[in-house]
Structure 1
Amino acid sequence: MFDGIARRVVSIWFHRLASDRFLRQYPLSGPFALTIKHSNANRLYCLNTEAAQQGLHQGMSHSDARAFCPKLQTAPADLYRDQQFLLTLRRWATRYCPWVGLEGRDGLVLDISGSSHLFGGEDNMLSDIRTGLTRAGLSAQIGLADTRGAAWALAHFGEGQAAPGAMLPALKDLPVAALRLDVKTTTALIRLGLRKIGDLATTPRAPLTRRFGPNVVMRLDQALGQQVEEITPLAAPPHYGVRMTLPEPIGLIDDVMAGTKRLLTQLCATLKTHEMGARVFVVTLRRVDQGHQEVELRLARPLRDPLRILPLFEKGLSEIDAGFGIDQLRLEATQTEALPAQQMTHVATDSDDRLDDLITRLGTRIGLENIQRFLPADSHIPERSFITSPAAYSTAASGWVCRNPRPLCLFHPEPIAGGGSYPPTHFRWRRMSLTTGRATGPERITPEWWFDDDNWRSGLRDYWRVETTQGRRLWLFYTPQNPGWYVQGEFA
């Protein structure tokens, strides 16, 4: 800290962060809790106020909670969304000071040294923080002290503020758990009669260190300000956006493409520095009448090569209405992914690049999600041996492993007429009279008993590859349990 400025730290504990986040998006009334699976059982993870008033608590099994509170409403917890929401709150807290860090999975810590006067003092700042969180529908407890440890203790166990230089008087009546000690150490200290921080502060340090190690004394010193504990703010994420203001308005597509090329070159250089690639680009064109238009480009693969990206913008930019002219261009990568540098070899090929560019061009017309590819699935049932996935968000399988050939055309089983022999010599299918010229089989396929599939209720099947004298190459199967012949596919 700068000389002459006393250090002051604010700790904010969102004790219902997960449930508050969920209820902001899906408002509900009555007892509510989020659940998480732990030790093969669903347990309560985060509760709202109504659920806590019913006597429910975190860690309680879901079945016991429903027995105590039949009206309890639950939903599965989403730890990733909770963390992203906490990062959003961190950005919001930077309006009070630039030094804002995370405090575990449900808290923030702010170093407000030298910034509280901008809000009319510490009391006004804390009041403004509480008002903002309350309007957002968030429950929070706030502590203010000279040290990070003392602020955390006040937020979790006292919700108040300590006067400058008076840490011990503010903390002495708080339990030893307020020193951020683990449960085992806290329990051992209580058994020795050291229940409060004041009791621990007056205890000789040498016996404490011999019995519990240096951690207990270190946490006490950090809370009382006798040992420095830094606050490390999160680095601001890199901003992948560039802007160009033009001295004269432009309207020709060639001029717009030239400006986009200059912006792409700058932006791709930034992406390369951070070893990132962009999935989605957005070009915003501001007209002289203050109107603006946006052109979005969604790529099949993350890219940072301006020479490959620029031609893909041509269709979208050619459809804009320049009006009386465009005086500003802005290019932003709104969705990015890691794209580490790769070693080039003499056998490198650009066939995959051309396919990705083709998928991108088609995707701009019909949507990337509508371009599908087949991927192998782990199942011996013909209908379940493959899945479809968007080509832009999946990787082609290196090879399909199949011991027996499968037809390219599969359809719902269709019964045939005739077929008394095994396999049938003469039969009718789709109003055609067919004669078997060559038959290969059988290949017996049994149902997957763990799936309830109406198409396989007839039991196992014996499959045959039948080549007819009429030129048809069919895939037939026979059901021994319920005798009958069916066609399910046709080979090319």
Structure 2
Amino acid sequence: MFNGIRKRVISMWFPRLASDRILRVRAVDGPFALTLKTDNANRLYCLNARADRQGLHRGMSYSDARAFCPDLQSAPADLLADTRFLHTLRRWAVRYCPWVGIEGDDGLVLDITGSAHLFAGEDRMLADIRQRLMRAGISVRLGLADTRGAAWALSHHGEGVGEPGNPLAALANLPVAALRLEQGTVTALQRLGLRTIGNIEETERAPLARRFGPALLRRLDQAMGRQPEEVSPLADPVHYGVRMTLPEPIGLVDDVTGVTERLLERLCAKLIRNEAGVRILNLTLYRVDQGAHTVELRLARPLCDVQRILSLFARGISEVDAGFGIDQMRLEAVEVAHLPPEQVSHVSSDRQNQLDDLISRIGTRIGLENVQRFLPVESHIPERAFAIVPAVLKSQPGGWAVERPRPVRLFPPEPIVGQGNLPPDSFRWRRMPFTTARRTGPERIAPEWWLDDDNWCAGIRDYWKVETWQGRRLWLFYTPQNPGWYVQGEFA
């Protein structure tokens, strides 16, 4: 009780959250289930109503489900997408009350104390929630009671409204599983003949505490309102956007740069507080003639430094058509990444910062994805030992390392004349004669059988590093299964 207002809580349970998320976008006429690999077996994770009516159930192996229901349609589950969808529903539920929390991985809990009258009563509020969710193609079961535990029990095992001030009346006939107990505790209670919440409420507390510990009585007291259980709403994500309305229109580049700097100071202060850096920025300039111009800045690495970001904005701001003047500016961080604090000292070098800023400047002209670099790949095969990726991607620590050096230049194998399994003493390559001065090897590389590569289907290769009297350092290999010598690379 608070100021004469009794606490009321709604529990929303979405029994088919994952499948509803898929089917509301792509409808399926027939049994449908999402599958998830568990314990090295593909099992059913979430089913629609028609699959339930066919006798399928969650946790059933997919092969057994197909045997029972040959026309079953399926798709792999995406747990991360389901979590994002649940958080989207949480933001939607804020329209009913400000206190909305997440309940497990498929439910919400709302503290509607003092909010029901805005919807003409609790019944009207529940009807509105159900109607809107049904229109969106989302199955829901609702429970309303004085406590969070009682509301959860009603939504999962009864779906109803508890009488204010008397939770036992609504919970007495519900099974003991409605108290949110572990399955082992539920089974043990049923073996003792305690099958409903009413049975537990009528039993002496001391024997229950000795046998099942404090968890059972805590859940019972929470459901009955004897022990508080608060609803903890999730904090809204930080919004990295700032704006400024100008008293007089501006149009000079210096004025626009000055306002941008003030906006960056406010934005970067928020980024620093949250240990974050921005990767993509949008600066929108609104003109007095209702037109707008957006300057996008993509950074090679997350930044929260005002002056470095401002200098990278210079080119985009200089190309803006101010028209009759700009009276409002808005700066938004479109993509933000975690940026932990860094140790700085008087001996630190800013070469990396200069390189990142150069990549950012070039990227504003041709696109960051077109500035590329090489990264090592976990493969012994020379042609597969590297990948060309955007320069903004950094190599991971502890990446692929090759014990033997690799040539700077790599090209398709070119045959040369040679006999035996040792590099020839003299040979011709690209119409030039060469004499071997020193040879190092061999390094045997076998094909990767799990990859389909026509160039490596012939078998193993023995690689040699050959230094010639002519000054060229070549990378040769010999194929024992089909005797022959080839040149594939050249060292610096």
Q: TM-score, normalised by structure 2?
A: 0.94
Secondary structure of 1:434 counterpart: strand
Aligned to 1:475: 475
**Is 1:336 aligned with 2:343?**
no
Equivalents in 1 of 2:464, 2:435: separation in Å?
A: 11
**Is 1:442 aligned with 2:441?**
yes
**Is 1:107 aligned with 2:107?**
yes
Spell out, residue by residue over 1:245-283, the C-alpha distance to the aligned partner (whole angstroms, 9 max, x if none): 011112222221111111001111111122221122111
Secondary structure of 1:46 counterpart: strand
Equivalents in 2 of 1:140, 1:285: separation in Å?
A: 44
Identify the range of structure 1 (284-293 vs 478-487) with the bigger mean alpha-carbon deviation.
Answer: 284-293
After superposition, the Cα gap between the structure-2 partners of 1:473 and 1:24, relative to the gap in structure 1 and judged at 3 Å, is farther
After superposition, the Cα gap between the structure-2 partners of 1:400 and 1:124, relative to the gap in structure 1 and judged at 3 Å, is closer
Aligned to 2:204: 204
Equivalents in 1 of 2:449, 2:192: separation in Å?
A: 56
C-alpha contact (below 8 Å) 1:35/1:77 kept by paired residues: yes
Tell me the CA shift for residue 406 of structure 1. Answer: 1.4
C-alpha contact (below 8 Å) 1:444/1:460 kept by paired residues: no
1:31-430 alignment, distance < 5 Å? 31-395=31-395, 401-416=401-416, 418-420=417-419, 422-430=422-430
C-alpha contact (below 8 Å) 1:434/1:468 kept by paired residues: no
Q: Supply the AA of the counterpart residue of 1:71.
A: D
C-alpha contact (below 8 Å) 1:434/1:469 kept by paired residues: no
Identify the range of structure 1 (456-465 vs 264-273) with the bigger mean alpha-carbon deviation.
Answer: 456-465
Q: TM-score, normalised by structure 1?
A: 0.94
Spell out, residue by residue over 1:171-190, the C-alpha distance to the aligned partner (whole angstroms, 9 max, x if none): 11111101101100001111
C-alpha contact (below 8 Å) 1:375/1:397 kept by paired residues: no
Tell me the CA shift for residue 365 of structure 1. Answer: 2.0
Q: Supply the AA of the counterpart residue of 1:328.
A: Q
Tell me the CA shift for residue 468 of structure 1. Answer: 4.6
Equivalents in 1 of 2:173, 2:398: separation in Å?
A: 66
Equivalents in 2 of 1:27, 1:252: separation in Å?
A: 54
Identify the range of structure 1 (148-157 vs 53-62) with the bigger mean alpha-carbon deviation.
Answer: 53-62
Equivalents in 2 of 1:293, 1:24: separation in Å?
A: 36
Aligned to 2:17: 17
Secondary structure of 2:70 counterpart: coil
Secondary structure of 1:356 counterpart: helix
Spell out, residue by residue over 1:342-370, the C-alpha distance to the aligned partner (whole angstroms, 9 max, x if none): 22234311111111111111222222222
Spell out, residue by residue over 1:47-79, the C-alpha distance to the aligned partner (whole angstroms, 9 max, x if none): 122222221111111221222222222222222
Secondary structure of 2:247 counterpart: strand
Tell me the CA shift for residue 113 of structure 1. Answer: 0.7
C-alpha contact (below 8 Å) 1:375/1:396 kept by paired residues: no
After superposition, the Cα gap between the structure-2 partners of 1:207 and 1:124, relative to the gap in structure 1 and judged at 3 Å, is same
Q: Supply the AA of the counterpart residue of 1:65.
A: A
After superposition, the Cα gap between the structure-2 partners of 1:489 and 1:265, relative to the gap in structure 1 and judged at 3 Å, is same
Equivalents in 2 of 1:25, 1:214: separation in Å?
A: 45
Tell me the CA shift for residue 193 of structure 1. Answer: 1.0
Q: Supply the AA of the counterpart residue of 2:282.
A: V
Q: Supply the AA of the counterpart residue of 1:316.
A: G
After superposition, the Cα gap between the structure-2 partners of 1:40 and 1:411, relative to the gap in structure 1 and judged at 3 Å, is same
Q: Supply the AA of the counterpart residue of 2:77.
A: A
Secondary structure of 2:352 counterpart: helix
Equivalents in 1 of 2:252, 2:51: separation in Å?
A: 63
C-alpha contact (below 8 Å) 1:35/1:46 kept by paired residues: yes
Q: Supply the AA of the counterpart residue of 2:361.
A: R
Q: Supply the AA of the counterpart residue of 1:291.
A: G
Equivalents in 1 of 2:32, 2:300: separation in Å?
A: 41
Q: Supply the AA of the counterpart residue of 2:353.
A: D
Q: Supply the AA of the counterpart residue of 1:458.
A: A
Identify the range of structure 1 (18-27 vs 265-274) with the bigger mean alpha-carbon deviation.
Answer: 18-27
Secondary structure of 1:379 counterpart: coil
Secondary structure of 1:465 counterpart: strand
Tell me the CA shift for residue 340 of structure 1. Answer: 2.2
After superposition, the Cα gap between the structure-2 partners of 1:439 and 1:30, relative to the gap in structure 1 and judged at 3 Å, is farther
Tell me the CA shift for residue 9 of structure 1. Answer: 0.5
Tell me the CA shift for residue 399 of structure 1. Answer: 9.1
C-alpha contact (below 8 Å) 1:443/1:462 kept by paired residues: yes
RMSD of aligned alpha carbons: 2.1
Tell me the CA shift for residue 304 of structure 1. Answer: 0.6
Equivalents in 2 of 1:369, 1:27: separation in Å?
A: 36
Identify the range of structure 1 (23-32 vs 146-155) with the bigger mean alpha-carbon deviation.
Answer: 23-32
Equivalents in 2 of 1:241, 1:383: separation in Å?
A: 46
Q: Supply the AA of the counterpart residue of 1:324.
A: F
Tell me the CA shift for residue 107 of structure 1. Answer: 0.6
Tell me the CA shift for residue 479 of structure 1. Answer: 0.5
Spell out, residue by residue over 1:261-316, the C-alpha distance to the aligned partner (whole angstroms, 9 max, x if none): 11001111111122221122111111212222222212111111001101111222
Equivalents in 2 of 1:364, 1:228: separation in Å?
A: 56
Secondary structure of 2:340 counterpart: coil
Spell out, residue by residue over 1:299-340, the C-alpha distance to the aligned partner (whole angstroms, 9 max, x if none): 111111001101111222223332222110011112212222
Identify the range of structure 1 (231-240 vs 337-346) with the bigger mean alpha-carbon deviation.
Answer: 337-346
Equivalents in 2 of 1:171, 1:295: separation in Å?
A: 59
After superposition, the Cα gap between the structure-2 partners of 1:275 and 1:59, relative to the gap in structure 1 and judged at 3 Å, is same
Q: Supply the AA of the counterpart residue of 1:446.
A: I
C-alpha contact (below 8 Å) 1:436/1:466 kept by paired residues: no
After superposition, the Cα gap between the structure-2 partners of 1:334 and 1:399, relative to the gap in structure 1 and judged at 3 Å, is closer
Spell out, residue by residue over 1:157-198, the C-alpha distance to the aligned partner (whole angstroms, 9 max, x if none): 111111212211111111110110110000111111111112
Structure 2: 5+ residue stretches without partners = none
Secondary structure of 2:3 counterpart: coil
Secondary structure of 2:227 counterpart: coil
Tell me the number of residue pairs that the alignment of Structure 1 and Structure 2 aligns. 490
Spell out, residue by residue over 1:186-237, the C-alpha distance to the aligned partner (whole angstroms, 9 max, x if none): 0111111111112111111111111111211221121121221111111222
What percentage of residue pairs aligned between the two structures are identical? 64
Q: Supply the AA of the counterpart residue of 1:490.
A: E
Equivalents in 2 of 1:152, 1:441: separation in Å?
A: 73
